[in-house]
Amino acid sequence: MLFLTLRDDPADAEIPSHKLLLRAGYIRRIGSGVYAYLPLMWRVLQKVSQIVREEMNAAGAQECLLPQLQPADLWKESGRWDTYTKAEGIMFSLKDRRDQEQALGPTHEEVITTIARDMIRSYRQLPQLLYQIQTKFRDEIRPRFGLMRGREFIMKDAYSFNVDEESLEKTYQDMHIAYSNILRRSGLAFRDVQADSGAIGGSASQEFMVLAEAGEDEVLYTKDGQYAANVEKAVSLPPDAQPSAFTNYEKRETPGTETIEKVCEFLKCSSTQLVKNVLYETIFDNGTSVLVLVSIRGDQEVNDVKLQNELTKLAPKYDAKTVIKLAVPDTEAQAKWASKPLPLGYIAPDVADDYIKSVKNIAPGFLRLVDKTATDLKNFVTGANESGYHVVGANWGEQVKLPEFAVDVRKARPGDRAKHNPEQTLESARGIEVGHIFQLGTKYSIAMGATFTNEQGEEKPLLMGCYGVGVSRLAQAAVEQSYDKDGIIWPVAIAPYHAIITIPNINDAQQVEIAEKLYTQLNQAGVETLLDDRNERAGVKFKDADLIGIPYRIVTGRAIANGKVEVVERKSRKSHEIAIADVVSTLNQWIQSVNSEQRSQ
């Protein structure tokens, strides 16, 4: 076996699971976000894939394999070519020798929709549910943490086609159950949370999060178990605003108070009584740049994901379809469109449009949005549109015009009261997103003309859902959730091998003979077993066995004099002396009981 473990932590690995997989010889870095899955890792990935496959098949899904090389035309039809090559820039694209643009599949909605368009004609063929397990390519901005965020990774993606919302909801629920089963059977502690649908589009979506400190996502949840959401999507009740002390409208000189903190200190008021105005610049897919002014209560923050979703909804106002970029413009960016220096830190919701000079591709006025936290304020403080001045005691519709679009773009925070029950407060946890299920609706079928004839003989767009599991990310997430100072502790169901036989001294013929015999018997009986017959010190071999995290270690040591071997459970470190003749049946029984426990939980 090509087996090599490292004593020290590799320099470029930051989180425990990444370090351990490298050290234990599971993976090897080939390039940024690109890894070789070595034999041990491949076995783990096959196990995870098999669990996924079994659960998908049980839900009636059909396995297929779609092309990774995808013609740009399909992506242009769906309208995602620009978003994926420019906005998120996450898709690898290339030109072939005929000068045709191609992409390496980051996801397969376009491919599957074109197949459905060709093959599905009638409601009689519906519903359909297809899936594949395959390598995906994404040119991630920050590939990191090993398999967690790769540029090449393994995903199971499934797509459903349904006649109506009700049927889609049913498939979505089936997938929810399948995903819960997959994670439970893989031995993971997880949580399903409400999620943002992002660039994939569509309405309802949920993510499956493996709870771990190293997770890149923040989950907000309530202790009563009634609410859990990705922070990108989460909602809550904001703290109540303090009543305002300013009953008269007045302009005040407030020198050097560009920040909320400073102005509150200067005016001796609460940040909940202040309307702050955050400037963004967004670029739409048609190249139009729009200056966006978001008015929000002083103590609250803007959630960029929610804001981007609102801007996408407003895109048609600018003859555009989607947002390509959203950023807070720095001085350099401002120089491109500002006709005069902006009163930064003192901007009011009604700052004049003539700060924007007339430039091609820049919308002439501000797009003004107001968060619901700000619309309720009375006698508030805000900027005076003049450096060094604020106004106090202002009211909407009196001194300050209410921005045109009222939206919810506020970031929910830990400690906020929950909407479903104000007595519950939001708690925060870190999670690794291993699965995501979406109700896509008709976004792709309408864009690409995938229709069917319903029972009444009418032509209707197909309703779609899509369902992804990060197979390689899930495998690493399992390590992130289960390790100790000595190494990995694989859940039995996805461990590369169930058992490892360690021969303490390979010069002892009896030890070797018993080990080899057990090795054959165990493998024949379906207990996947590795034999460590290297000519190394026993201590080295024990260390390696711990590091690679095989659930059961069998040692043909001193106990063989009494016809026994030592069996050590990796997780609990419990050691048992078991008669040689009983090893196969005992291990088989242990493995089965762990697996069935996980299945039935």
* Contact footprint for ligand ATP (CB under 6 A): 107, 138, 140, 149-150, 153, 155, 198, 433-436, 468, 470, 472-473
Q: HEC profile for 532-560?
A: ECCCCCHHHHHHHHHHHCCCEEEECCHHH
CB of 230 to ligand ATP, least distance (A): 9
Task: Decide whether 88 or 566 has the Cβ nearer to ligand ATP.
Answer: 88
23 vs 138, beta carbon nearer ligand ATP: 138
User: Residue 277 is encoded by which pair of tokens?
Assistant: 């105005």
By beta-carbon proximity to ligand ATP, the closer residue of 128 and 472 is 472
Give me 188's structure tokens. 């993971």
Give the C-alpha separation, 122 to 245, whole Å: 67
Helix axes 583-600, 509-524, angle to 10 degrees: 40
Pick 21 or 434: Cβ nearer ligand ATP: 434
Q: Which is nearer to ligand ATP, 295 or 472 (CB)?
A: 472
Contacts of 398 (CB under 8 A, 6+ apart): 249
Closer CB to ligand ATP, 144 or 252, in the complex? 144
Q: Are the CB atoms for 48 and 473 separated by under 8 Å?
A: no
435 vs 551, beta carbon nearer ligand ATP: 435
| Residue 320 Cβ vs ligand ATP, minimum distance, rounded to whole Å | 23
Q: Give 214-253 as a DSSP string.
A: T-SEEEEE-TTSS-EEETTT---BPPPPPPPS--S-EEEE
240 backbone dihedrals φ, ψ, rounded to 5°: -65, 145
Residue written as token pair 């605003």? 241
The structure tokens listed for 565 are 């071997």
* Complex with ligand ATP: residue 91 or 155, whichever CB lies closer: 155
Least Å from the CB of residue 466 to ligand ATP: 8
Q: Least distance (Å) from ligand ATP to the CB of residue 133?
A: 12
Give least dist CB 292 to ligand ATP, A.
24
- CA distances, 127 to each of 4, 116, 161, 443 (Å): 49, 11, 6, 17
- The dihedral region occupied by 457, where left means phi > 0, alpha psi between -120 and 50, and beta the remainder, is left
CA gap 356, 343 in Å, rounded: 13
Query: Which residue number, 150 or 349, has a Cβ lying nearer to ligand ATP?
Result: 150
For ligand ATP, which is the closer residue by CB, 444 or 542? Answer: 444
Strand (E) or helix (H) holding 18: helix 16-23
User: CB 305 → ligand ATP: shortest distance, Å?
Assistant: 10
Hey, how many other C-beta atoms are within 10 angstroms of the C-beta on 243?
10
**DSSP line for 181-212:** HHHHHTT--EEEEE---GGG--S-EEEEEEE-
Longest Cα separation, the chain: 97
473 vs 541 by CB, closer to ligand ATP? 473
CB of 81 to ligand ATP, least distance (A): 17
Nearest distance from residue 574's CB to ligand ATP, in Å? Answer: 34
Q: CB 89 → ligand ATP: shortest distance, Å? A: 13
Q: Residue 198 Cβ, how far from ligand ATP at the closest point, in Å?
A: 6
Which tokens sit at 267? 């005016």
Shortest distance, position 442 Cβ to ligand ATP, whole Å: 19
Residue with tokens 């929910």: 412
- Spatial CB neighbours of 67, under 8 Å, sequence gap ≥ 6: 105, 111
